[in-house]
Structure formats: structure tokens, C-alpha cells
Amino acid sequence: MPEATAPDDDAVRIDLISGARMDGLTSMEKIRLILDTVRNGDIVVLEEGLSPEEESKLIEVTMTEISPDDFTGIEIETYPHSHAKSGGILGRIMGKDEEAKKLTVIGPANQIETLHKDENLISALVSRK
Amino acid sequence: MGLLTNLRDSISRVTDGLFSEAEPKRIGIYGPPNAGKTTLANRIARDWTGDAVGPESHIPHETRRARRKENVTIERNGKTVTIDIVDTPGVTTKVDYKEFLDHDMEKDDAVKRSREATEGVAEAMHWLREDVDGVIYVLDSSTDPFTQVNTMLIGIIESQDLPVLIFANKTDLEGSDVKRISDAFPQHETVPLSALEGDNMDEVYEKIAEYFA
């Protein structure tokens, strides 16, 4: 759901989507928002990432939309897992998924390439459409 | 007549109970493309049933549809487990038919292969949420395990509370580094093996019997 259009065809738009905005969407609405943006050749940066269930559905839906010479899929990057789950059992009972609270970058597979990733930095190269 | 019917019903209930207890566990073999999933599935199937599961190849996405080998009974150290092995296509977030052209494939065949691969991956992801009782996650120990797909897949498996064993395959290759895999996923047991050469299969079967029995 774009609010602004790119000034010219060569530009790459980056949508930085807050956790609050994603919280108000169903899983399928989140996936639709991501894939519609990425299929338009733009990059999505999610403040809080997706749950494992949503990631699984994102891969599944992405696969059903891949088509030759049109859409080859997505590149997705999140900071590596921290194995110390501060939420623990209580967090899981309360429905808090600490692992989902990670900034995530998603873009078209043919335009975005990850150059470097560590616990604090994702470095990506984005080519024009 | 009534007595016989009752007796038959009782026997049926008992045997139904026994069979449901003994129902094979569906163990999905997951991992990225070219990790050696089908080679491992074939090794296990051949060792315990004499039959293979499917063809192996160095071309990515040789397995485009999940293949199942049913009722594979594995016995080790007094433990017995009967499993249905589900060999799945390599999970990825992108499939480009052009990468198949590098393997001397015509465009039509490459497009067909990529279509089948995407359908297979979608199916495998659906089954991971709905249809498997445990997971064998196969990684190529000669490549970097810190990929987003691996991290996501392990997270998805953990969120389903499925028992998972990580197999560090291809230990016969020169660049193999099993520690890199165990360091990447320290919360799970990592078993080194070469499915191609049949190295360390005793421990593989021991762990399968232990984890999935």
C-alpha cells in the first residue's frame, strides 16, 4: 500500500514499516503488504520482523508467485538469532516472541544482495530496477 | 452371535490401539538445496529396506516434489523406531530458472524445473506446519551455515516444538567444518556424516532411534 510514488523509474523506494503498523495487520495482510511492495521493485524494512509462522507462510506464498522473467523471489535478512531468550517460558506464555523483535530487510531477489551481516549490521547492495 | 460380535469389537479396539501406538512417525528431511538430503534419504532407505527414495544429482532442485519412503524400521541399542521418511525439496526464498541454464539445460526445461521447484518448496513449507512429527535438518558442512534460510527454518521448526536433529553432511569434502555448524546452532545436537560415503551412519541411526522413538 504505497503512500508515495517514486520520483522516477530508476529510483528504489524503501518502506520502513513500524511495529505498530504491522501489529494491526493479520498474518496474510502482512505477507501481502511485503510481497506487493517487493514485487513492485521496492525494499521493505520491518521494525519488528515476522513470527516463525509468518516467515513460513511468507516463503510458501513467495513460491506460489515466482514466475519466469518476472519475479524470482525475495532476499530476506535479519540479524542472527541471539540464543539467550530473555523472554523465556514466561515470555512465551505471555505470547511475546522475543525472536520476532528483530529488524528485517526484504527485497526483490534480483535487486538486493547481502554483502555483510553480523549481530549489529546488515550491509546490502541494492541495484536499480 | 452377540457375544462373538462383542468379542470381535473388543479385539478390534485393542488392535486399533496397538496400531495407533505403533503408527510410523513422519520425519521430514529438510535443508537448503544441494545439502545432500536425497543422498541421505536413499542411504537410510537402502540400509533398512533395500530400496532408494529418489534420484540424486549435483544440479540444484533435483528433488522438486517431496518423496516418501514408508515404514522404515530402524533399530539401534535396543531402541526401535518406525518412520516414514519424507525427502523434501531444498528450501529457498528464490528460484531463478536462469541458474539451471548453467547446467546445460534448455530454457523450456529450466523453466519447467523452476516451476516444479517452487511448487515443491511451497508444499514442503506447508507440511512443516501441518504434517511432520520430527525433522532431520541436513546441512553441507563445507559451506557457511549462517544463511537466513537456515536461521528461519530452524526457528520455524523450533516454534512448532518438533524434535530436530542437525546432520552436518559431506564430511568427506576437504572444506568440511562440523564445528562451524554446531557453533551456529548450539541449541541442537549436530551429528557429522557423509551420506555419500556412508561415514558415521552408526551414530546417525543411534540418534534417530533416540530422538524419534
pLDDT, tens digit (0-9, with 9 covering 90-100), for A28-80: 999 999 999 999 999 999 999 999 999 999 999 999 999 988 999 999 999 87
Prediction pTM value: 0.83
Whether the ipTM is more than 0.90: the answer is no
| Segment among A95-99, A110-114, B59-63, B89-93 with least mean pLDDT | A95-99
Separation between Cα atoms, residue A122 and residue A79, nearest integer Å: 7
Q: What's the pLDDT at A13?
A: 92
Residue B109 has pLDDT above 80, yes or no: yes
In this prediction, what percent of chain A has a pLDDT beyond 70? 75
The pLDDT of A120-124, averaged and rounded, is: 87
CB contact under 8 A, B159 and A52: yes
Residue B1 has pLDDT above 70, yes or no: no
The pLDDT of B178-198, averaged and rounded, is: 96
Can you give the residue ranges of every domain in chain B?
A: 20-212
Q: What's the pLDDT at A118?
A: 80
Mutate to test the interface with A, among B64, B106, B111, B125 (most CBs of A within 10 A): B125
> Nearest residue of A to residue B122 by CA position?
A60
| Segment among B62-71, B120-129, B151-160 with least mean pLDDT | B62-71
Contact A66/B111 with Cβ under 8 angstroms?
A: no
Q: What's the pLDDT at B22?
A: 64
Residue A84's pLDDT band, with cuts at 50, 70 and 90, is: very low
Residue A95 has pLDDT above 50, yes or no: no
> Locate cell 506464498: which residue?
A61
> Nearest residue of B to residue A83 by CA position?
B187
CATH of A14-126, one of 1.20.58, 3.30.110, 3.30.2450, 3.40.50: 3.30.110
CB contact under 8 A, A60 and B125: yes
| Segment among A24-33, A78-87, A102-111, B21-30 with least mean pLDDT | A78-87
Q: How far is CA A10 from CA A7, A127, B9, B11, B140, in A?
A: 9, 9, 74, 74, 39
CB contact under 8 A, B152 and A51: no
CB contact under 8 A, A109 and B93: yes
Separation between Cα atoms, residue B131 and residue B179, nearest integer Å: 31
Can you give the residue ranges of every domain in chain A?
A: 14-126
Specify the CATH superfamily of domain B20-212.
Answer: P-loop containing nucleotide triphosphate hydrolases (3.40.50.300)
| Segment among A20-34, A54-68, B24-38, B105-119 with least mean pLDDT | B105-119
Separation between Cα atoms, residue A43 and residue A37, nearest integer Å: 7
Separation between Cα atoms, residue B160 and residue A13, nearest integer Å: 35
Q: What's the pLDDT at A79?
A: 82
Q: What's the pLDDT at A120?
A: 83
Separation between Cα atoms, residue A111 and residue A108, nearest integer Å: 5
Residue B192 has pLDDT above 80, yes or no: yes
